[in-house]
């Protein structure tokens, strides 16, 4: 039976466009990755990217949503959040001022992840953060 088991695991969760769903996505991520040493970092990344989707795209509108994907291999967790689109800008790291209340989310994601990739257009964006962990990290 082991020959049919993949070492890679993939999970997905679609969340409605309300702020409460960001917390649900964060809790779900922590639960799904509970055995991984980077579960807390991954949960924070999902919360930041989910909040950005609600704030900056149609994901936060009535009928909007965002989708979270987790891909886990032996030494890497890849976290992707896809928004509902309609953003006029591509997600990018901003330099927030000391008194700014926004503009730090993607910088936090970039600081936690080994690699962050953004792809998409006005129809949707997907931000993927890759976290590496090896046996020496556990």
Beta strand 65-72 with 76-82 is antiparallel
Q: Is the pLDDT of residue 21 over 60?
A: yes
Domain that holds residue 79: 2-132
Q: Return the CATH number at 97.
A: 3.30.565.10
- pLDDT for res 19: 94
Using N-to-C axis directions, what is the helix angle for 39-56 and 19-32, rounded to 10°? 160
Structure tokens at 42: 């991954």
Residue 137 lies in a domain: no
In this prediction the pTM is 0.83
pLDDT number for residue 5: 66
Q: How many CB atoms lie within 10 A of CB 131?
A: 23
43 is a domain residue: yes
Residue 68: closest CA among 86, 52, 55: 52
- Between CA 31 and CA 45 the distance in angstroms is 14
């Amino acid at each position: 039976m082991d020959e049919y088991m993949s070492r890679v695991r993939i999970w997905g969760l679609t969340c409605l466009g309300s702020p409460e769903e960001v917390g649900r996505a964060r809790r779900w991520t922590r639960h799904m990755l509970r055995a991984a040493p980077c579960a807390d970092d991954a949960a924070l990344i999902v919360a930041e990217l989910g909040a950005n989707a609600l704030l900056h795209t149609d994901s936060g509108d009535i009928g909007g949503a965002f989708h979270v994907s987790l891909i886990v291999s032996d030494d890497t967790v890849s976290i992707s959040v896809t928004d509902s689109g309609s953003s006029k800008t591509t997600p990018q790291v901003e330099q927030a001022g000391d008194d700014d209340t926004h503009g730090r989310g993607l910088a936090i994601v970039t600081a936690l992840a080994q690699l962050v990739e953004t792809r998409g257009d006005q129809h949707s964006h997907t931000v993927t953060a890759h976290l590496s962990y090896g046996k020496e990290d556990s």
